[in-house]
Structure 1
C-alpha cells in the first residue's frame, strides 16, 4: 500500500500542469491610452509596433483600468455593404426622339439609391438619365442623375447596368437611355438602398525602386515583422491606360507565392468613355520578411510603377470607456489565450466611434515573466531518473533475495 501511494504521488508531481491566466506581470509591453470622449465607443488601431510584439492571432492583447480588465472586441475593417432590393414595374416602355424611355413604378415608401436594369444587349456604352416623380402625369420630374451603362463582353471586361441616384423616395422614376439599346432588350428592373463601407488598410512594409530584368519589371519589398500582408497596391500614373500585366510574387529564393493581373482599361464607344482599373493584387503572407514582385511586360514598354505598397487590413480594438479618460494596453505573453468577453459576443460597431490615442511603447515596469510552467517531470528530471534507478536497484535486490531463499540447503 505504501509503495502504491508513493508511485501515485510521484506521478502527480510529474504530470501536474499550471493554469494559463491573464496576469499583468506576465505581459511584457504596455502603452498608455488617452480617451478624449469617454461617453462614446472608442477604438484603437493595431499598428506595426504592436504586430511585432504580439501573438499572430492578437490573443494576448489586454486593456486594464488599474488592476481591472476592460472588455473589448477585435474587428477587421473589411469592405461591407447592405442591400434591400425591391422589384419595380416597367411602364410606358417605348422610343421617343431616338431614345429608349420608360417609367418605373417603385411603389410604397421605400428608399433607394440604385436602379438595376436587366438587359439582353451586349457590347455597348450608353448614357441613362433618371428623373424622380411623385405622379406619372403633371409637372416635370426632378433630375436625379446621369449614369453610364456599358457591356464589354467582347473585351472580357464585364458590364454595368446600374444607375446610381441620390437617396430618394419618389414613387416613379422616368428613365431615358441614349440610342444603342432597344425597348425589347430591357427585360426588367429593380431598385435598392445600398449602404457601403470601404475597407481600411495600413501599410505593412516598404518597397524599393523598380529595376528592369529583360522584359520584367522587378520590385523588392521588405515586410514589417508580424504584420499580415493581404494585398499589394500599385500606383501607376493616371495617363498610362489600356494595359493588363501579369504579376508574380515570390520569396527571395524564387519560390512563387501567388500571381494575378493589374490593369487599367479606357474604352470609348458612341462618344462615351469608361475607365476600369484593378491595381491591387490580393496576397496573404505567412512568414516571409522579403518578397520579390515581377511584372511581365511582354513586348510592351515597361510599366511605370510610381509606388508598390504591401498593405494589411486595419484591425481595431473597440471598447466602452464607461466614463474613463485613460486606460492601459498590455501585450507580449506568448502563452496567453484569447479572452472571452460578453462585450465581444454582443458587439455592435457604432457609426460615431471615436479613435483613442496610444502613447509610445514601453516595457511593463511590473513585468516578471511567467514562472517555469513545464511539467514537474521536465523541471526535475534528475529526481525522476534517480527514482527510476532506485526502483531498479530495489527490484534487483529483491530478485537476488528471492533467488537466495529458493536455493536448497546442502544435505
Structure 2
C-alpha cells in the first residue's frame, strides 16, 4: 500500500512548469517594431498576434536589436480614445414661454451625445425638453427627448445638469426648462438668467477606436436573409460587427441582424445569439432634413476563448430587396503595445512561447498616455529564423504520466497475486 500512495503522490506533483526567462530562440514568431520618435511610442496589435500568442498575450516580449538584446518593458492599452476637446455651446435667445425658461444652443460641428448645462441656483428639479433644429431660432424640429435635471444641495445630495442624448449632429438645440423648487425648499423664483452656459463633451461613440479582426465580402442569400460566415481563430477578441454598403446605395432601410457564434466542431445550437439593428434614415419632413444611420452592432463574442469559432451573421431582409452589402467586418477594440524608446532604432517583438508567464513591469502600472505619444510602425508577422523548441526539463514520468498508471496497475496485479497465494496457503 505504501507503494501505491507514493505513486499517487508522484503523479499529483507532475505539473507542467512555466518559465519566466524569455530567450529569443524559443519564440516561434517575431515582428519588427520601429519607433517614430524617442520617448513614448505605441504600436497597434492585430488579430494575428492574438491568434499566435499565448492566452492573454502573456508571452509578448520586446527586445532591442543590440548585442546585449536587452528586454524593453511595455504596457498594453485598450482602445485608447480619440479625445476631442470639450467644446462650448453658445447660449442665445433666452426667454420665457408659458412659465417655462426657453433658450437655444449653437452646437459644435461634430456628433455629440451629451450636453452639460451650467445652471445657476440651487434646490430645484427641472424637466428639460430638447428639440434638434437645422436653423437658428427655430422651435419646431426633431424632438430628442425629455430629461430630468436637479440640484439637491440642501439635502446633501447630488446635482445633475447633463442632457444624455442619443448621438446627434443638429447644428442647433432648442431647450425648454420647467423648473420647480425641490421638496422641502422655499418657494423660489427661477428666471432665464439661471442659464449661464453649456459645454459639449466628446461623443461616446468617438471615444472608442476599433481595429479589424476579420472581414469578408462573400455574402450569400438564404431565403430572406443575407448571410456572412467567418471562421475566427482562437483567442481573437471581437466587440463589434460593422457593415459596409455599396457606395452608390442611397435608400432608407431598417433591418434586424442576428449574430451567432459557436466553438468549431460543435453544433450551432450550442453557441450564443446576439440581436441588433442597422438602419439609415435620410428624409425631409415638414421642410426639415433628418440624417441618421447606424451600420454597426455591438457584439462581444465568446470566440475569444481558447478555441476557434464559427461566426454567422444574418441580415433579415423581410420582403424587401437584399441590401447591397459590400463587406462585413468583425472588429475589436484597438489594443496597443506602448513602450519608451531611447531612439528610433528598430526593436523586435517576439511571441509564441506558451511556457512563459506574464511579465511584471512597473511601466504597466504607471504609464500615462498623453498627446505626445508617437505611433510606432509594426512589421508583418514572421517565423523566428533561429527558433527551436524549448528543452523539456521534466522527468520521464512528468512527460509521460501514463507510465505512472502502468506502474500502478503492475503493483496492483502483484498485490493481487500475493493475496491469492496467501489465501491458498491459509486454507491448507
- Tell me the TM-score normalized by structure 2: 0.65
Separation in structure 2 between the aligned mates of residue 176 and residue 206 of structure 1, nearest angstrom: 39
* 8 A contact 2:32–2:348 mirrored in 1: yes
Q: Which residue of 2 aligns with 1:341?
A: 361
- Bigger shift: residues 71-80 or 181-190: 181-190
Q: CA deviation at 1:125?
A: 4.7
Separation in structure 2 between the aligned mates of residue 357 and residue 182 of structure 1, nearest angstrom: 51
Q: Which residue of 2 aligns with 1:108?
A: none
Aligned match for 2:254, one of 223, 244, 259: 244
Aligned match for 1:257, one of 273, 290, 297: 273
Q: Alpha carbons of 1:385 and 1:68: their partners in 2 closer, same or farther (altered >3 Å)? A: same
Q: CA deviation at 1:329?
A: 0.7
Q: Which residue of 2 aligns with 1:51?
A: 50
Q: Which residue of 1 aligns with 2:78?
A: 76
Q: Which residue of 2 aligns with 1:309?
A: 329
* 8 A contact 2:253–2:279 mirrored in 1: yes
Separation in structure 1 between the aligned mates of residue 18 and residue 220 of structure 2, nearest angstrom: 54
Q: Which residue of 1 aligns with 2:226?
A: 218
Q: Alpha carbons of 1:27 and 1:89: their partners in 2 closer, same or farther (altered >3 Å)? A: same
Matched, 1:276 2:292: yes
Separation in structure 2 between the aligned mates of residue 271 and residue 210 of structure 1, nearest angstrom: 38
Q: What is the DSSP-based 3-state SS (H/G/I as helix, E as strand, rest coil) of the residue aligned with 1:52?
A: helix
Separation in structure 1 between the aligned mates of residue 399 and residue 212 of structure 2, nearest angstrom: 43
Q: Alpha carbons of 1:379 and 1:305: their partners in 2 closer, same or farther (altered >3 Å)? A: closer
Separation in structure 1 between the aligned mates of residue 406 and residue 335 of structure 2, nearest angstrom: 49
Q: Which residue of 2 aligns with 1:364?
A: 384
Q: CA deviation at 1:342?
A: 0.7
Separation in structure 2 between the aligned mates of residue 331 and residue 254 of structure 1, nearest angstrom: 32
Q: State how 1:109-258 maps to structure 2 within 5 Å.
A: 116=117, 120-121=128-129, 125-127=132-134, 129=136, 150-151=142-143, 191-192=198-199, 194-195=201-202, 198-214=207-223, 216-223=224-231, 225-226=233-234, 227-236=236-245, 237=247, 240-250=250-260, 255=269, 257-258=273-274
Q: CA deviation at 1:332?
A: 0.3
Q: What is the DSSP-based 3-state SS (H/G/I as helix, E as strand, rest coil) of the residue aligned with 2:363?
A: helix
Q: CA deviation at 1:221?
A: 3.0
Q: Alpha carbons of 1:398 and 1:272: their partners in 2 closer, same or farther (altered >3 Å)? A: closer
* 8 A contact 1:34–1:358 mirrored in 2: yes
Task: Say which one has the larger Rg.
Answer: 1
Matched, 1:15 2:13: yes
Q: CA deviation at 1:63?
A: 0.5
Summarize deviations over 1:87-139 as a string: whole Å, max 9, x none: x99995247xxxx65799xxxxxxxx9564976447x5534649xxxxxxxxx
Q: What is the DSSP-based 3-state SS (H/G/I as helix, E as strand, rest coil) of the residue aligned with 1:218?
A: strand
Q: CA deviation at 1:208?
A: 3.3
- Bigger shift: residues 378-387 or 21-30: 378-387
Q: CA deviation at 1:45?
A: 1.5
Q: Alpha carbons of 1:213 and 1:323: their partners in 2 closer, same or farther (altered >3 Å)? A: closer
* 8 A contact 2:58–2:357 mirrored in 1: yes
* 8 A contact 1:116–1:161 mirrored in 2: no
Q: CA deviation at 1:260?
A: 1.0
Q: Which residue of 2 aligns with 1:139?
A: none
Unaligned runs of 5+ in 2: 107-113, 119-125, 147-163, 180-190
Separation in structure 1 between the aligned mates of residue 261 and residue 314 of structure 2, nearest angstrom: 11
Q: What is the DSSP-based 3-state SS (H/G/I as helix, E as strand, rest coil) of the residue aligned with 1:41?
A: strand
